[in-house]
Amino acid sequence: MRLDLIDKYDLRLPRYTSYPTAPHFGPKVDAKVYEDWLAALPQDLPLSLYLHIAYCAEMCWFCGCHTKITQRYQPVADYLEVLLAEVEMVAKRLGGRRKARHVHFGGGSPTILSPDDLMRTLDILRARFDVVADAEVAVELDPRTADEAYVQAMAKAGVNRASIGVQDFDERVQKAINRIQPYEVSERVIGWLKSAGIHEVNIDLVYGLPHQTEASVVHLVEKAAGLKPKRVALFGYAHVPWMKKHQRLIDTKALPDVPERWRQYLSATKRLVELGYVAVGLDHFAAPDDALAVALREKRLYRNFQGYTTDSASALIGFGASSIGALPQGYVGNEGSIDAYKRIIREGHLAVMRGVGVSDEDKLRRAVIERLMCDLAVDLDGVTAPFGKTAAHFASELSALKPLAEDGICTLAGNSITVTDEGRPLVRAVCAAFDQYLKAGEQRHAKAV
């Protein structure tokens, strides 16, 4: 990657897990609007379910998630009861026992739940929703808080995919981000998962952390690949201490500079492909036989708040404090404060406090952005036709992309756009040309790489 392109295009841009993106959610979409949207969903529309477990046992300083630290289980138990009450409320408003094809536990640390509570939660979900027999049931797992009995409980409850937070195996890096997790801990938990029949294992890695180097990150991905995960996510650390105050505890002098971050990303990406993984979009890698790689080949890849996915459901129902949902009518976001969220639900109200409706224009632009993020290519003639428009609708956007094409970030052939191999890390810069909400100079997003 040319250094002049880094300076030019490594901007603060959305990750495009939605469009419009979360900073544009507002109070006009509230609990009443959400209730109306739920009631209007067709009975035969399959759903995805997301549960946000907003607690961790310890704060990792690099973390950008919405979470609260507790050393006691009672706050977690209290929170879970409220979340399950929200499940009951939403199910009642939906009416009937709606089909669900994906269930995802995120956090925080979902495995802070006791084994019994995890199994009880899935039992309740299956009672209120028709969770299909081959549904993907995924749990984000903290290896530091799971034992073999817990993993066996996960399997018994029907969990069939686990995402392991690793970040880095290097002890110096771990100390710098306050996440001490020896390699042997991750290796042991992955062994337990596979022994229990949970073979779909993802590993999350992070580059751009304190004390990391290009060589150390390459060694990191080699070590992670040795554990034979089906998927690897390679995320760039986003240092946003103005949003996440605990990140102020990270020594900024130990962070790599921008060119070094790029070298880490490019070398790690190259090595993962050499090790047999298929590059998926911006930052995911999958074994060739994994469902994500198959979906990429068959042009059935999607993007939502969990990142790249095979989930095609147009209705994602979020439960828990700060959870985000996506419906055909628009996006909704729950109250972020755990205490306020619990109070609202206990008073018998839905906890949606913000959101945004989507217009036909938003849906069209979202379709273009999704194909670029997933396929690294889009045929504007094909995408615009279902909306009753032609590629001429995006004449100004095509014109805006010409400088990127001249710089080798993408190619323009008629009304088709293709992101080049060199431009893959900058795919969000290509997508930004279609973003009507993005304002130049905004600091609310992370850097492109």
DSSP 94-121: H-S--EEEEEEEEES-GGGS-HHHHHHH
Fill in the DSSP letter of residue 241: T
What is the CATH class of 17-319?
alpha beta
Residue 327, CA atoms < 13 Å, CB-side half-sphere:
22
pLDDT of residue 67: 87
Compute the distance between CA of residue 373 and CA of residue 431 in angstroms, rounded to an integer. Answer: 8
pLDDT of residue 446: 57
The yes or no reply on domain 1-16+359-449 and CATH 3.60.20.10 is no
Nearest Cα residue to 234 out of 246, 218, 245, 247? 218
Instruction: Give me the percent of the chain exceeding a pLDDT of 70.
Output: 97
Pairing type for strands 161-167 and 352-357 reads unpaired
Per-domain boundaries in the chain: 1-16+359-449, 17-319
Helix (H, G, I), strand (E, B) or coil at 337: coil
Residue ranges with strand state E in 196-281: 200-207, 231-236, 278-280
Q: Check: CB of residue 210 under 8 Å from CB of residue 255.
A: yes
Q: Is the pLDDT of residue 445 over 60?
A: no
**Which of 176-185, 242-251, 433-442 bottoms out in mean pLDDT, i.e. has the lowest?**
433-442
Q: Is the pLDDT of residue 331 over 90?
A: yes
How large is the average pLDDT for residues 304-328?
Answer: 94
Q: Is the pLDDT of residue 86 over 70?
A: yes
Q: Is the pLDDT of residue 449 over 70?
A: no
pLDDT in tens, 386-422: 999 999 999 999 999 999 999 999 999 999 999 999 8
Nearest Cα residue to 232 out of 175, 300, 169, 278? 278
Tokens of 256: 């790599």
Q: Is the pLDDT of residue 382 over 80?
A: yes
Q: What is the pTM of this model?
A: 0.93
Q: Is the pLDDT of residue 340 over 90?
A: yes
pLDDT of residue 65: 79
Residue 123 parent element (H or E): helix 115-128
- Tokens 């790689």 correspond to what residue? 293
Instruction: Fill in the amino acid letter for 383.
Output: V
Q: Is the pLDDT of residue 441 over 70?
A: no
pLDDT of residue 243: 82
pLDDT in tens, 138-163: 999 999 988 899 999 999 999 999 99
Confidence of residue 440 (pLDDT cuts 50, 70, 90): low
